[in-house]
A = this chain, B = another copy of it.
Amino acid sequence: MQAVKPAAPPPPTGTLRSGCPVSLGLDIFGDRWTLLIVRDLMFSGKRHYREMLASDEHISSNILADRLKTLLGEGIITKTADPAHQQKVIYSLTEKGAALLPVLMAISDWSHAHRPVSDAYRPAPAPPALPPTWEQALQEVRRAHQLTDRS
């Protein structure tokens, strides 16, 4: 584990750089931490602040608190009292948050192909075949960039 400088927080809600859908997504989760919090909630069964604080990436407490606040404000997560622990709260994904699954899966698939994923995360589940429209688009990108057609 090496120390990593905290990233600047995402721009405040309502500060839009453009109307482009890619940009509009990155305005919310285009930092190094936000999607890791969503990942913890989605795949690791984590629900408590301290559990997320204990993740391998060693998020700092102030960044975690800030990003949770952003995610709450954007309606991507909710916060409720934990019936089992009176002084704890439980964080959960909303439907809008659950809808980030394809984003996380796409990043994961890309990393399995191109990054040094730990053995603990292998063997990767076979990546789903690209939907026809995506495959077509990928072919167009390949053509435009003069990549070898592998189909």
Q: What separation, in Å, do the CA atoms of A147 and B137 have in the docked complex?
A: 33
- CB <8 Å contact, A17 and B56: yes
Of the four ranges (under 10, 10 to 19, 20 to 34, 35 or more), the interface on chain A belongs to 35 or more
Q: What separation, in Å, do the CA atoms of A37 and B98 have in the docked complex?
A: 27
Taking a contact as CB atoms closer than 8 A, the residue among B32, B110, B131, B142 that contacts A100 in the complex is B110
Q: What separation, in Å, do the CA atoms of A96 and B114 have in the docked complex?
A: 7
A79-129 contacts to B (CB < 8 Å): 92-121, 124-125, 128-129
Closest to A59 in B: B17
- CB <8 Å contact, B145 and A56: no
Closest to A58 in B: B17
A→B interface (CB under 8 Å)? 1-2, 4-8, 10-11, 15-28, 30-33, 35-36, 39, 41-42, 45, 55-58, 92-121, 124-125, 128-134, 137-138, 141-142, 144-148, 150
